[in-house]
Homo-oligomer: A and B are copies of this chain.
């Protein structure tokens, strides 16, 4: 109990869940069920601590030196030094000649596989493409991950912007169309809980920057079936989004169409609402076929 509690306690709070799992599965963390969700597992175990360091290096906006990392992570110098050595040895971190550290190439290689193997993404791809063709605007496909949405696919309307520039990027749930659409799929108490955990930032005038504003909007999304981002994350940018419920698969995701506000009329928005909604439904249907109950191999 002593040690188990430390390594896997994330689920400590959400005990007793019927979980109709057939064969046992490995302690699945906060997926759909988790009543109490701990999004910040805080590096427990050797792996967790190593990843904590890796996160600091990867998520920083400026190159970090040894001491910078040391200040962020609460550890003795000797310990951090060895952790960095291990990360470098494994190719997860790159030591620059000037004494700073960068994320390593191995991450790219792993992620390339993670992306191409992602079955949800490949199932959704034709639908995403069709939506792009129907609207002519930028389309995003995102997956729920804790308090963020992670973009797993994207088709740009404007080809001058690099396509892949944003894949894998993460945005907060509360200020994006996809984020709100996904929240609306979750049980109310789960939404309430997450709403309390956001570190709200008022990106624009219309950003929903309190749990109350957010929860009220989520209710509207539930009724409408689609979510709107009315310049809530970036001035001048609007988006229409619909949530995708993976069901069995427990994946919660969303699609969206995004465009500059000046370019689109209310009529266009209405048209997009149904297009986006239908796209989400189509993806859900394909998911049941491909990964649903009783299938796969």
Contacts and interface: CB of A to CB of B under 8 A. Distances in A.
A192 interface: no
Given A105-B145, A150-B108, A88 B167 contact: no
Interface string A3-45: 1111110110000000000010111110000000000010011
A145 to B, nearest CB: 5
A81 interface: yes
Contacts of A117: 58, 102-103
A98 B119 CA distance: 13
Contacts of A97: 5, 7, 25, 248-250, 291
Most buried by B among A84, A109, A162, A166: A109
Interface in A145-189: 145, 150, 152, 159, 162-170
A28 B97 CA distance: 10
A92 B110 CA distance: 10
Contacts of A65: 4
Q: What is the interface of chain A mostly: helix, strand, loop, or mixed?
A: helix
Interface residues on A, range: 35 or more
Nearest to A5: B97
Contacts of A8: 85, 88-89, 95
Instruction: Pick the 7 closest A-B CB pairs, nearest first.
Output: A112-B168, A111-B111, A164-B164, A103-B114, A108-B168, A4-B99, A27-B85
20 contacts: A3-B98, A4-B66, A4-B99, A8-B88, A8-B89, A10-B89, A11-B91, A26-B85, A27-B85, A28-B95, A29-B89, A45-B86, A48-B89, A91-B145, A97-B249, A102-B118, A103-B110, A105-B150, A110-B168, A159-B159
